[in-house]
């Protein structure tokens, strides 16, 4: 269980995380979604006690990270790929983490086996590909057999096999009753993995909801209608409050009325319908709807320069 309350983090004048509150519950995969630069990695560093919040707090299993008696046995994290000394072997990297947490040496071999790095465990990690680095990071996260797991963009740099492997692993870790918190900037990835999503943009909470509810609530939901008497039907629908778009292909997109209401209006006129098809937005579209206003345009000089000057 991870509980964030009013979490705020500034770097200089920039607010990276802004009054963020959310819960990550055990037994499910919770996706952490937001565009690049929206504060996901910062939030994860705050959870891990690596950065200190300017306001608010975040607890793991009811405690601040720094107060955990056996941090690696309680929380495992993959924060960045290849955060390892290039001259050190995978085995030595995991061994030094195990020793710091009094984890028996045989567990090191277990996790190496688990992530499929046995053949290269004694080689210098500097030669590892990004995908091998990710696997090593996952081995480190699983080392203490923790009940809470954080993964920051775990599928980055992995091939399709690796992506499927991660997806299955996340789901089985959650099925065992663990708390699994996974960040991604790809909604499509989360649609396949997560049960619940926390969506942020510009460091602020946008939504915290079950994945199914996210698409149902989207403004992108509409109904496709085709009819030989389209003009007549369209006028009737707009009288009843719908907004409509007529495509070049002769398909009318109707927003604001569902397929039941449209069918009844058509029957009452009456007009013939050739198609009446409700369209739910894809998860990706729902995500774009939610975060459209909050995409960070990094490096925009109009944002940084004059603003700072005006404050003086």
Partner 1 sequence: MSATADTHAPHWGELPAGRYGLGGLVASEWTKLRSVRSTVWTLALTAVLGVGLGAIAAATTAARWSQLSFVDKLTFDPTRTSLTGLLFAQLAVGILGVLVVSAEYGTGTIRATFSAAPRRPLVLVAKTAVYGAVVLVVGELVAFVAFFLGQALLKSAAPTAAIGDPGVARAVVGGGLYLFVLGLLALGIATLVRHTAGAISVFVAALLVLPIIVAALPSSIGNEVGRYLPANIGVVLLSVHPQANSFAPWTGLLVLAGYAVAALVAGGVLLVRRDA
Q: Where are the beta strands (DSSP E) in the chain?
A: 2-11, 14-24, 29-33, 55-60, 75-78, 148-152, 179-184, 196-201, 204-210, 222-226, 243-246, 252-255, 275-279
Per CB under 8 A, which region of 96-104, 182-190, 236-244, 272-280 contacts partner 1? 96-104
Q: What sign results for the dihedral spanned by CA atoms 25, 32, 193, 97?
A: negative
Q: Say whether the peptide bond before residue 270 is cis (omega within 30 degrees of 0).
A: yes
Q: How far is the CB of 146 from partner 1 (least distance, A)?
A: 6
Does residue 174 belong to the site contacting partner 1 (CB under 8 A)? no
Among 31, 71, 154, 162, binds partner 1 (CB under 8 A): 71
Q: How far is Cα of residue 104 from the mean position of the Cα atoms in its chain?
A: 33
Token representation of residue 93: 């990297």
Among 57, 99, 172, 188, binds partner 1 (CB under 8 A): 99
What is the rounded CA–CA span in Å between residue 184 and residue 101?
A: 29
Among 84, 111, 237, 254, binds partner 1 (CB under 8 A): 84
Q: How far is the CB of 27 from partner 1 (least distance, A)?
A: 9
Among 12, 69, 160, 299, binds partner 1 (CB under 8 A): 69
**How many residues interact with partner 1 (rule CB under 8 A)?**
48
Does residue 86 belong to the site contacting partner 1 (CB under 8 A)? yes
Among 58, 68, 207, 286, binds partner 1 (CB under 8 A): 68
**Cβ closer to partner 1: 110 or 238?**
110
**Cβ closer to partner 1: 176 or 245?**
176
Burial track 11-43 (b if 16+ CB lie within 10 A, e otherwise): eeeebbbbebebebebebbbbbbbbebbbbbbb
Among 15, 92, 273, 276, binds partner 1 (CB under 8 A): 92
C-alpha angle with apex 137: 132 to 140, nearest 5 degrees? Answer: 130
Does residue 157 belong to the site contacting partner 1 (CB under 8 A)? no
Summarize as ranges the residues that interact with partner 1 (CB under 8 A): 1, 26, 45, 48-52, 61-62, 65-66, 68-75, 77, 79-80, 82-89, 92-93, 95-97, 99-102, 140, 145-148, 177-179
């Amino acid at each position: 269980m991870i509980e964030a309350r009013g979490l705020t983090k500034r770097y200089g004048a920039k607010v990276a995380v802004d009054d963020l509150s959310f819960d990550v519950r055990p037994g499910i995969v919770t996706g952490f979604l937001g565009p690049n630069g929206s504060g996901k990695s910062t939030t994860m560093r705050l959870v891990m006690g690596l950065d200190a919040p300017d306001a608010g707090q975040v607890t793991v299993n009811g405690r601040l990270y720094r107060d955990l008696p056996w941090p690696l046995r309680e929380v495992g994290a993959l924060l960045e790929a290849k955060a390892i000394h290039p001259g050190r072997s995978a085995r030595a990297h995991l061994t030094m983490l195990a020793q710091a947490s009094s984890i028996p040496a045989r567990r090191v071999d277990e996790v190496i086996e688990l992530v499929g790095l046995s053949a290269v465990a004694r080689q210098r990690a500097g030669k590892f590909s990004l995908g091998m680095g990710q696997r090593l990071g996952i081995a480190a996260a699983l080392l203490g057999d923790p009940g809470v797991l954080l993964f920051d963009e775990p599928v980055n740099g992995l091939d399709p096999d690796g992506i499927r492997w991660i997806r299955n692993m996340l789901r089985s870790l959650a099925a065992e009753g663990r708390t699994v918190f996974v960040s991604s900037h790809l909604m499509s990835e989360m649609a396949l993995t997560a049960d619940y999503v926390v969506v942020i943009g510009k460091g602020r909470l946008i939504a915290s909801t079950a994945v199914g509810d996210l698409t149902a609530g989207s403004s992108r939901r509409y109904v496709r209608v085709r009819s030989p008497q389209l003009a007549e039907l369209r006028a009737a629908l707009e009288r009843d409050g719908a907004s409509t778009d007529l495509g070049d292909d002769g398909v009318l997109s109707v927003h604001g009325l569902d397929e039941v209401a449209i069918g009844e209006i058509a029957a009452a006129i009456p007009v013939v319908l050739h198609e009446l098809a409700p369209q739910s937005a894809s998860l990706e579209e729902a995500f774009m709807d939610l975060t459209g206003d909050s995409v960070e345009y990094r490096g925009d000089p109009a944002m940084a320069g004059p603003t700072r000057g005006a404050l003086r």
